[in-house]
Amino acid sequence: MNSSQHRTSITDKQRLHFALWFTMLFLIAIWGVFLIDLTFELGLNQYGNRPREIRGLKGIFTYPFLHGGWSHLWNNTASFFVLNGLLFYFYRSLAIRVWAIMFISSGILLWIIGDIGGVARNHIGASGLVYGLASFLFFSGIMRKNLLLLRVTLLVAFLYGGMIWMMFP
């Protein structure tokens, strides 16, 4: 192995470590909140995102950490693990910025339009963040016209292409 290949493999290992570290840190927080709420019966889901209600504003920041049950938590965990891992591996230089923008903007957008149809709801779960990550990874690969990132776009389309239909009632 020449020094160029050795440097590349170290870089790849560092990128993978960075992607896994940040992804697992957030997932530990999500699971921790769920298990604490379940164990101590705190009723934390009341702090979800309640669109167009003043008391729902705090939900902009809390809703991704709250889940309605084991299957809800697991589905968000699996999707988040894959999509966030791809973001932090392939977009290392801007991953934290993109993630923060997705976190805040998904909560704000949900607060503004989350009651379309006139039904007031309390939204919980990391699905908004998952949809944001999938959208970024899909469209960024297309717009950048980079062959490697287009592969990521195709992977996201293959794995999560049906996700768009889940947004509609």
59-88 pLDDT, tens per residue? 999 999 999 999 999 999 999 999 999 999
Q: How far apart are CA 157 and CA 141, in angstroms?
A: 11
Q: How far apart are CA 121 and CA 71, in angstroms?
A: 20
Q: How far apart are CA 101 and CA 129, in angstroms?
A: 10
DSSP assignments along 79-125, one per residue: HHHHHHHHHHHHTTTTHHHHHHHHHHHHHHHHHHHTTTTS----B-S
Instruction: Check: CB of residue 53 under 8 Å from CB of residue 121.
Output: no
CB proximity list for 131: less than 8 A, separation 6 or greater? 106, 163, 167
Instruction: Check: CB of residue 103 under 8 Å from CB of residue 129.
Output: yes
Q: Give the range among 109-113, 148-152, 154-158 with minimum mean pLDDT.
A: 154-158
Q: What is the pTM of this model?
A: 0.88
pLDDT given at position 150: 94
Tell me the per-residue pLDDT of 104-149, one tens digit each, with 9 for 90 and over.
999 999 999 988 777 778 999 999 999 999 999 999 999 998 999 9
pLDDT greater than 70 at residue 48:
yes
CB proximity list for 82: less than 8 A, separation 6 or greater? 159
Q: How far apart are CA 74 and CA 2, in angstroms?
A: 43
Instruction: Check: CB of residue 125 under 8 Å from CB of residue 70.
Output: no
pLDDT given at position 87: 97
The pLDDT confidence band at residue 9, using thresholds 50, 70 and 90, is: low
pLDDT given at position 161: 80
Q: Alpha-carbon Rg of the chain, whole angstroms?
A: 18
